[in-house]
Copies of this chain bind each other. A is one copy, B any other.
């Protein structure tokens, strides 16, 4: 049995999404910037896709800029707000310690250019409060960027409340909704969101497409310069097939949100309950403010990579923290941010589900993980020390 439980890294494309792409890969290959009918048919398709995305975000089609993915959207959102801030002499940005690297590394770049960055503490439960944001805002703050839901531990943030605080204080608010999209009800107007990023391949759409919502009046600066595509804000021939696939996937998943969430959270809860039975383990992130698909545990005394490799041998595709940083020797910055000590953070496992997972797959995971944890503990000198009392347990 093969169990794909790494949907926070990327997802299987849905049939609807593939079917929406295929015609634009095959016969309808025109460039939307071309005047002739083949080009104009592509331009019309592009417009339809833009309207679909806008519809499910609660904004105007004109407020959507297509990008190559979530990272580019994050980069552009933050750099745009920073450019606007710089002009007004406002060079302070508020974010959180557990953002995705697309956000954190962009902030680091801005720091080198003289911006001051405040990273809010995310607490052990992985949830920040609107009050934290409110009290961090200064007169020179030009942007607050807080992810809608965390990609490693799955905690969901009080975005509407943070949006209200930012709007009241007149500060731009960006949220990285790459993981949250299609799992939470997004309404950029009601939630006072100025900038928002999504990435198609996280919701059964294609790789290579993302969207950036920017409220009318928020001026975008280009990450990619060149032709006048995307109203001059994102150069490069539009990736029509992927954009069509993204719109189809987004619509399909938004329409089925309730049903999908119910199915996924039932499976998620079985995982949480089952894995909690492993001694000296801990669930990472708040039990309730969490995406329906993400489960993240730390197991004391073992290391995550070997855990993953053994699960892989049993046909279970999982992750230890985010995909982008695996291969790195540092433990996840997210787990450190919620206060896990290094030795605990090293022993993490992220299982991320989609609506395509089944109860049988959950059964399989619930059999495999405890066995693998026990096996690895059996050869771990760290575990021996814990068991023999030479070291004190950190977890319960």
Question: Could you list which residues of chain A lie within 8 angstroms of chain B, going by C-beta atoms?
Answer: 4, 6, 9-13, 18, 21, 25-26, 29-31, 33-39, 68-72, 74-75, 100-103, 105-106, 108-109, 199, 201, 206-209, 222-229, 235-242, 305, 308-309, 311-312, 316-320, 322-328
Contact = CB atoms under 8 A, between A and B. Distances in A.
Nearest to A102: B226
Most chain B CB within a 10 A radius of its CB, from A34, A100, A201: A34
A380 B311 CA distance: 74
A4 to B, nearest CB: 7
5 contacts: A36-B319, A207-B239, A208-B209, A227-B325, A228-B328
A226 B74 contact: yes
Contacts of A106: 225-226
Given A33-B326, A105-B226, A105-B235, 10 more contacts: A31-B323, A37-B317, A38-B317, A72-B224, A101-B228, A101-B235, A108-B225, A206-B239, A206-B241, A239-B242
A-B pairs, top 5 by smallest CB distance, nearest first, are A227-B324, A102-B226, A208-B239, A68-B68, A71-B236
A236 B72 contact: yes
Contact of A225 (B36, B105, B225): B105
B34 A70 contact: no
A108 B235 CA distance: 14
A319 B6 contact: no
A101 B234 CA distance: 12
Given A25-B13, A25-B18, A325-B228, A6 B36 contact: yes
Contacts of A109: 225
A224 B69 CA distance: 10
A35 B237 CA distance: 33
B34 A225 contact: no
Contact of A35 (B39, B206, B208, B327): B327
Given A6-B39, A34-B6, A228 B71 contact: no
A199 B12 CA distance: 26
Given A25-B206, A26-B18, A224 B35 contact: no
A29 B316 CA distance: 15
A292 to B, nearest CB: 20
